[in-house]
Every structure is written in C-alpha cells, then in structure tokens.
C-alpha cells in the first residue's frame, strides 16, 4: 500500500480520536463544573472563575480514564465511515489486505497510547492533585466526627510507648499536606490522652506542622492554638503509599516512589501495578482497535448491523472490566502486577488477531 494511502488512513483515525476526545472533554467539563459548584458554592472562597479553573485542570484525569473507550468508539466510527463511502471496498479491490489498511489505524492508537502515558498522565496527576489541594483548602475545618469512612488512617509510634492515629479527608502531594486532620494521641494502656483537630498538617523535617488547632482532653475545655508541631518518624514515601492513590502519582515518579516504598518496608504493589498499567496502556489501545476492527470491517458486504456494533461495545466493556479486575488483584498482591497488567492486553490482542485472520484470510 502506498504511503499516501497509509497517511490518509492514519490521519483519518487520528482526527476521529481527537474529535471523540474533545467531545468527552466538553461533556465532562460541564458535568464536573456543575457537580463542583453544587458541592462548594456555599464555601467562602468559592467563585465561578475558580470553579471553572478547578474543573479545567481535572479534565486530563477524566480523559485518561476514558481513553480506552475513546479509541474504541473512534476506531469503530472511522472504519464504518470508510466502509460506508466504499473506500475500504476500493482498497480491497486493488489487492490491499485488511492488515495493510489496519496498520495505520493501529499505529494511530499506539501513538495516542504513548502520548497518554508520557504526556497526559503527568498532566492528569498534577492537575487533579492541585485541584484536590485547592478544594481541600476551601473545605478544611475542624472535624466534628471521630471516625469517617472517607478518612484513611495512619499509625505512628510514640516515644515512651503508645501511638498516634492520624486521619485526613484530603491529601495533597504538594509539600505532603493533609487537610481536615485528626490526631488521636493514645497511651500505652490504649486510652486516648487527647484529640487534636487541625485545618492542615504539613510534613516537615521530622515533625508535623499543624495550623488552626483544637486540642480536646477528657473533662477539659477545648484549647485553641494557631499552630503547633508533633514529632514524627514517618517519611513522605509512607504517607504517599498510605494516603495517596497510585493513580495520583505521575508515571515518571512511580519508579522512585516504588524504590522509596521498598526501602521503608512498605508494600509497593499498588505502585508497581500502576507503573505496569501505564506501560501497557499503548498496547491496550491497540487491543481496543483490534476489537473495533472485528465488528467494523464487513458492514458493507453483509449490511450494517446494530447487533454487531453493540457486540463491539460489549467486547470493549468486557476488556475494560477484566483490566480493572486484574488491576485490583495486582494491587492487592494476589497476582504479580506484571501479569495483571499485561494478561488482559495479550488475551484481547490475540483474540482480535485470531478473529481477523479467520475472517479475512480464511
């Protein structure tokens, strides 16, 4: 197949992917802005401009999550349009095989996947982390509840026995800052000596630096302080592993974070799983393209079928669910993260190749 025809198919697929990505971004932006406004419009720092900005910097994260389906729908639409205009029929009549005109489409999906891993992912993690940090500053205030299902907890050993339980509703990787923080000071007899509520807690050099602090002891009035420090031996790696989801860490920071977690004896399975998932993302998009091709290449010959389209969507959804389940098992250490990340991609790719070989080459 000539380079001109290859370039035509390549840019046709790439334009369709960008078109679908733009559509998803616009819809997600409107929904996220509406939901954010409903959630934070009553806060003193809220303004329409700031809410628009927060929603905008969260869009890359949403696009990253939706990228496999964007490629699936874009590829199906591309092949359907080429079929409807009889361009693939003409290409076949000149002796060009399905593999030849699928190669530029697969290449477009691969390039989009590489872009997603190396460019979109760092933008997504930084943008989402920044948005969470700003919203945390808006919402942070002394907590009125002791235990919250939305607040993960850390355990910190104390000198002389006892421990400190640390919980926060929001976490920012910027300067390792926690928002709406609760410190429970428990002695060696498992009795709570005091409860410390703070607006923010930033991890400094061997200490927590708290602001807007309320200290409560049994039988005593609440003591308020503008700030205070609490000694700690926790490291940023431990805080990140315990409180920050692996999806919130940039692809380029994952390797260092994995090594830091291992050096402190913290399980690195979620981080390793995320790292392998990012490496496998370009090939996952290629697998999605193959799935789309299995239901989109023969519409003109046999008549367009809504059932075939639904079958393609269903197959892509099954692959996505299988990938998410494998990722959960890999993060929990039930199966090796490498296997969990690459097995769904390999199975889907082999299925697509086998089906196309059978239908196209007999």
Domain that residue 296 falls in = 3-138+265-361
Nearest to 26 by CA among 47, 51, 56: 56
Residue 274 has pLDDT above 70, yes or no: yes
- Tell me: pLDDT of 117 over 70: yes
From 212, 234, 256, the end of a domain falls on 234
Q: Are residues 167 and 270 in the same domain?
A: no
Q: What is the CATH number of the domain that holds 212?
A: 2.60.450.10
Q: Would you tell me how many other CB atoms lie within 10 Å of the CB of residue 272? A: 25
Instruction: Give the range among 99-113, 182-196, 269-283 with minimum mean pLDDT.
Output: 182-196
Q: What is the mean pLDDT of the chain?
A: 83
In this structure, of 48-52, 68-72, 86-90, 345-349, the range with the lowest mean pLDDT score is 86-90
**pLDDT band, very low/low/confident/very high, at 262 (cuts 50, 70, 90):** confident
High-pLDDT (> 70) share of the chain, %: 88
Say if residue 261's pLDDT is above 90: no
- How far does the chain reach from its first CA to its final CA, in angstroms? 21
Q: How sure is the predictor about 264, in pLDDT bands with cuts at 50, 70 and 90?
A: low
Q: Say if residue 24's pLDDT is above 60.
A: yes
Of residues 260 and 256, which shows the higher confidence score?
A: 256
CA–CA gap between residue 21 and residue 13 (Å, rounded): 12
Query: Considering 234, 255, 275, which residue would you say is the last residue of a domain?
Result: 234
pLDDT band of residue 146 (cuts 50, 70, 90) is: very low
pLDDT for residue 273 is more than 90: yes
DSSP state of 6: H
Domain membership flag for residue 41: yes
Condensed to tens digits (0 to 9), the pLDDT of residues 303-343 reads 555 667 787 788 888 888 899 999 999 988 899 999 999 99
- Amino acid 258: pLDDT: 83
What is the predicted pLDDT for the residue at 355? 83
Per-residue confidence (pLDDT) for residue 1, from 0 to 100: 59
Of 31-45, 136-150, 161-175, the one with minimum mean pLDDT is 136-150
240 lies in some domain = no
User: Which one of 211, 234, 257 terminates a domain?
Assistant: 234
Q: Is 185 helix (H, G, I), strand (E, B) or coil?
A: strand
Structure-model confidence comparison of residues 126 and 135, the more confident one: 126
Count of residues for the chain?
Answer: 362
Residues sharing a CB contact under 8 Å with residue 2, sequence separation 6 or more, in sequence order: none
Regarding whether 61 and 100 lie in a shared domain, the answer is: yes
Helix, strand, coil share (%) of the chain residues, nearest 5 = 65, 15, 20
Residue 297 confidence (pLDDT) above 80? no
Residues 273 and 128 in one domain: yes
Same domain (yes/no): 134, 35: yes
**DSSP 8-class letter at 147:** -
**How many Å apart are CA 279 and CA 214, to the nearest integer?**
45
pTM higher than 0.85? no
Residue 242 lies in a domain: no
Per the domain annotation, does 70 fall within a domain? yes
Residue 64 burial (C-beta neighbours within 10 Å; 0-12, 13-18, 19+) = buried
Max mean pLDDT among 108-122, 161-175, 295-309 falls in: 108-122
Mean pLDDT over 133-160 rounds to 61
Sorting pLDDT into bands at 50, 70 and 90, what band is 143? Answer: very low
- Residue pair 171/129 in contact (Cβ under 8 Å)? The answer is no
**Same domain for 190 and 119?**
no
Give the mean pLDDT of 51-62.
Answer: 92
Q: Does 143 map to a domain?
A: no
Kindly state whether residues 228 and 79 are assigned to the same domain: no
| Of the listed ranges 111-120, 211-220, 290-299, the one predicted with least confidence | 290-299
Same domain, 205 and 319: no
Query: DSSP letters along 268-310, please?
Result: -HHHHHHHHHHHHHHHHHHHHHHHHHHTTSSHHHH---HHHHH
More confident residue, 239 or 8: 8
Mean pLDDT (whole number) for 63-74: 93
- Per-residue pLDDT at 171: 74
Residue 251 in any domain: the answer is: no
**Cβ-Cβ contacts under 8 Å for 79 (sequence gap 6 or more):** 88, 105, 292, 293, 296, 297
Same domain, 134 and 159: no
Contact 151, 161 (CB under 8 A): no
250 belongs to a structural domain: no
Residues 16, 130, single domain; the answer is: yes
Are residues 190 and 314 part of one domain?
no
- Please give the structure tokens belonging to residue 59: 């869009």
Please tell me which of 91-95, 125-129, 132-136, 161-165 the model is most confident about, judged by mean pLDDT.
125-129
Q: Does residue 197 form part of some domain?
A: yes
pLDDT for residue 275? 93
Q: State the burial class of residue 57 (Cβ atoms within 10 Å of its Cβ: 0-12, 13-18, 19+).
A: middle
Structural domain count of the chain: 2
Is the domain of 104 the same as that of 159?
no
CA atoms within 13 A on the CB side of 109: 29
Same-domain check for residues 228 and 352: no
pLDDT (tens digit per residue) in 153-202: 777 777 767 788 888 777 776 667 888 888 888 887 878 888 998 888 88
């Amino acid at each position: 197949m000539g380079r001109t025809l290859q370039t035509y198919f390549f840019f046709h697929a790439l334009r369709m992917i960008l078109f679908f990505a733009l559509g998803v971004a616009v819809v997600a932006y409107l929904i996220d802005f509406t939901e954010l406004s409903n959630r934070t419009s009553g806060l003193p720092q809220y303004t329409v401009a700031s809410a628009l900005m927060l929603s905008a910097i969260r869009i890359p994260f949403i696009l990253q999550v939706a990228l496999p389906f964007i490629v699936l729908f874009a590829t199906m639409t591309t092949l359907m349009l080429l079929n409807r205009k009889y361009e693939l029929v003409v290409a076949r009549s000149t002796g060009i095989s399905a593999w030849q005109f699928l190669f530029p489409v697969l290449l477009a999906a691969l390039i989009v996947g590489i872009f997603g891993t190396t460019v979109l992912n760092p933008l997504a993690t930084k943008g989402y982390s920044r948005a969470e940090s700003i919203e945390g500053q808006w919402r942070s205030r002394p907590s009125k509840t002791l235990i919250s299902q939305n607040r993960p907890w850390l355990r910190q050993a104390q000198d002389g026995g006892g421990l400190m339980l640390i919980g926060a509703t929001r976490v920012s990787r910027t300067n390792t800052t926690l928002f709406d923080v609760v410190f429970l000071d428990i002695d060696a007899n498992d009795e709570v000596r005091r409860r410390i509520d703070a607006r923010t807690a930033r991890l400094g050099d061997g200490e927590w630096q708290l602001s807007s602090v309320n200290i409560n002891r049994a039988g005593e009035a609440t003591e308020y302080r503008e700030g205070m420090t609490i000694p700690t031996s926790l490291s940023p790696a431990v805080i990140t592993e315990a409180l920050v989801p692996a999806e919130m860490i940039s692809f380029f920071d994952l390797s260092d974070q994995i090594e830091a977690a291992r050096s402190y004896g913290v399980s690195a399975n979620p981080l390793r799983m995320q790292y392998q998932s990012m490496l496998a993302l370009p090939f996952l998009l290629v697998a999605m393209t193959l799935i789309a091709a299995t239901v989109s290449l023969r519409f003109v010959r046999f008549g367009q079928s809504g059932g075939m389209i639904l079958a393609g969507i269903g197959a892509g959804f099954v692959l996505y669910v299988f990938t998410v389940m494998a990722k959960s098992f890999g993060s929990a250490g039930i199966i090796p993260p490498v296997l969990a990340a690459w097995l769904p991609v390999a199975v889907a790719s082999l299925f697509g190749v086998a089906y196309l070989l059978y239908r196209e080459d007999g």
